[in-house]
Amino acid sequence: MTAILTNPLRVGLRQERVIPPQCLVIFGASGDLTHRKLVPALFELHRQRRLPSEFAVLGCARRPWSDDDFRQRMGEALAAEIAEHPTAWEHFSQGLFYEPVDLQQSDHLVRLAGRLDALDRLRATRGNRTFYLSVSPEFYGSGCRALAGAGLLADPERSRVVIEKPFGRDYGSAQALNKVVQACAKESQVFRIDHYLGKETVQNILVLRFANTIFEPLWNRNYISSIQITAAETVGVEERAGYYETAGALRDMVQNHLTQILALTAMEPPGRFDPEAIRNEKAKVLQAAHLANEEEAWKCCVRGQYSAGGTKEHPLPGYRGEPGVNPNSTTETYVAMKLFINNWRWQGVPFYLRTGKRLPKRLSEVVLTFREAPVHLFDAAGGAPTANQLILRIQPDEGAEIKFEVKAPGSGMRSRPVDMGFSYDESFGEPSDEGYVRLLADAMLGDTTLFTRSDEVEAAWRLYTPLLKLIEDSPWQIPVHPYEARTWGPGASDNLLAEDGLIWRRP
């Protein structure tokens, strides 16, 4: 009898679930993501003994590599880990294989199908396959068509396809891509990946909100006055100019990662903890979200681009001076914006999103600011009393903290703010897994909870449509302000909040 991939609903959503026998096929195996993220994540799963022994990874790309070439290249990328765990690598690398494949060539697909059957026999992977499209985004649609045309997605219980970001470039292209993908596979077979959802602290937003009684009663417009979501990076564009020049921060970070954090922060409690119930609530809240001023979108968004900065010892080039970047580029490396969510819970509460490259710190966080006490009975030691805040620290220093007022020591009755914190590191003492570890395991388990459904991805694109249109039709209305590398973005982004009497949190 042939085992089929495990249904997540049957095994429940406990942490350690058993990944069924299968072959993970990576298209784009010669690319960066494979050796930087995917194979390291699989090796980690192997070391955690979460991969079955009936397992294979088949790398596919156009290069004419052999199995040994592939193993060697992956080994070079993982040299440090292998030095610590040589035996584990020896065992794991025996399950790595390679097949030269061009997805556009039908005879290659026939050869691929034959190789997969051979691997099923060799590694007892039982016809269960997860296809990972780590290829250039313009090939997502044709890649799915090619797999479906070769009959490789025909069995919804045994075949799945993982699609990297960006899923589309705007609302229209995301809709068109969804149509193609859905003609090739059932929605339950499709895993649109956003690696932020693999982060422990992003998932913790759900647990913090829905496993406690102290937060949820306050989690609404009656008690919360504003929400800030920040994803700050210290790195510049690195070697990714080719991709980044066509994307920019809005498409690269806001439409996906920040919007997913927004959805988890703002969604209603699901009726039960299962993939569809959660994704229904996320889709609903994104459908209710809109730019603070859709007609005059330039008023609620600031774009920036880093210019040269750093120190004498460590000078940093500006974005336009980075290798591969057009010296007159108007691609934004920074975005700040203001949104509202038009529903009973959030009406009138501003959500401020910001992200940027070459900022002074690497940090992602959600800051919920509560309404001030209606009456100030006490003088504040530091001037004005501060509003209570709940800060969800997504990375680094994963955890959460609450800021509240206490009596300042001394004879008077003055208040001053203090922090009460929780740190993953201190409480659990072990580093969390990389997002890809969790997400690859979930995809191989068939658990779609942490993957974006077709309606969610469309709602996320629709939210930013007025801005994308403006940038395309009249870019002068939404200029790219320069900001010096290693500063907190252009001054205009401070004005966005100053108009509401607020400031960005400076961690």
To ligand BG6, the closest distance from the beta carbon of 318 in angstroms equals: 17
* Residue whose CB is less far from ligand BG6, 23 or 39: 39
Q: How far is the CB of 209 from ligand BG6 (least distance, A)?
A: 22
CA atoms within 13 A on the CB side of 261: 29
- Compute how many residues bind ligand BG6; rule: CB under 6 A: 3
User: How many secondary structure helices (H) and strands (E) does the chain include?
Assistant: 17, 19
Can you tell me the distance from the alpha carbon of 176 to that of 183, in angstroms, rounded to the nearest whole number? 11
Q: Is 484 in the site for ligand BG6 (CB under 6 A)?
A: no
Q: How far apart are CA 349 and CA 370, in angstroms?
A: 11
Q: Which of residues 206-235 bind ligand BG6 (CB under 6 A)?
A: 233
> What is the three-state SS of 194-209?
CHHHHCHHHHHHHHHH
Residue placing its CB nearer to ligand BG6 in the complex, 123 or 358: 358
Question: For ligand BG6, which is the closer residue by CB, 99 or 322?
Answer: 322
Q: State which of positions 231-260 bind ligand BG6 (CB under 6 A).
A: 233, 252
Pick the catalytic residue from 46, 85, 257, 376. 257
Whether residue 257 lies in the annotated active site: yes
Give min distance, CB of 252 to ligand BG6, in A.
5
- Scan for tokens 């900022």, then name that residue: 359
By Cβ distance, which residue is nearest to ligand BG6? Answer: 252
**Phi, psi for residue 201 in degrees, rounded to 5:** -75, -25
Site for ligand BG6 in 342-401 (CB under 6 A): 364
Contact 162, 193 (CB under 8 A): yes
Pick out residues in 69-98 that bind ligand BG6 (CB under 6 A).
none
**What single DSSP character describes residue 308?**
S
Q: Which is nearer to ligand BG6, 108 or 192 (CB)?
A: 192
Residue 319 CA to residue 240 CA, distance in Å, equals: 12
**CB closer to ligand BG6, 65 vs 132:** 132
Joined together, the tokens standing for residue 82 give 């292998």
For residue 15, the minimal CB distance to ligand BG6 (Å) is 21
Q: Is 124 left (phi over 0), alpha (psi -120 to 50) or beta?
A: left
Q: Report how far residue 414's alpha carbon sits from residue 284's, in angstroms, rounded to the nearest whole number.
A: 44
CB of 432 to ligand BG6, least distance (A): 12
Q: Which are the catalytic amino acids?
A: 257
Catalog residues that contact ligand BG6 under the rule CB under 6 A. 233, 252, 364
